[in-house]
Amino acid sequence: MSRAAKNWARRKRRELMDLLGNVCAHCGTGENLEFDCIYPQGDGHHRGEASQRMCFYRRQFREGNLQVLCNVCNARKGDDEPALVVTAPLPDNPF
């Protein structure tokens, strides 16, 4: 990835963090923050480059589907609600 793209991604990340308050939506900490899709969108975007990820997160933000979580709450969200950790396409009928 080009340096310009990396810088762009870093700038956009900071902008989004500012817009979302720079704190975890659950516990309020300002450390180890990550973007999190409120309504899970799968993990396809995790594999992209930083600039692609930021495009994805900006889109989620515009749709009101982005929050900031710290890595602890993000991991806990996975524990409490396993359905939110989508690592593969869900079967049509999970029951």
Binding residues vs Zn ion (CB under 5 A): 24, 26-27, 70, 73
Helix (H) or strand (E) holding 36: strand 33-37
CA distance 89 to 95: 15
Cβ-based nearer residue to Zn ion, 23 or 86: 23
The least CB distance from residue 79 to Zn ion, in Å, is: 13
The least CB distance from residue 32 to Zn ion, in Å, is: 8
Cβ-based nearer residue to Zn ion, 24 or 37: 24
Cβ-based nearer residue to Zn ion, 58 or 77: 77
The least CB distance from residue 81 to Zn ion, in Å, is: 15
Q: Looking at the DSSP assignment, which residues form a beta bridge with residue 63?
A: none
Other Cβ atoms closer than 10 A to 22: 11
CA distance 90 to 29: 32
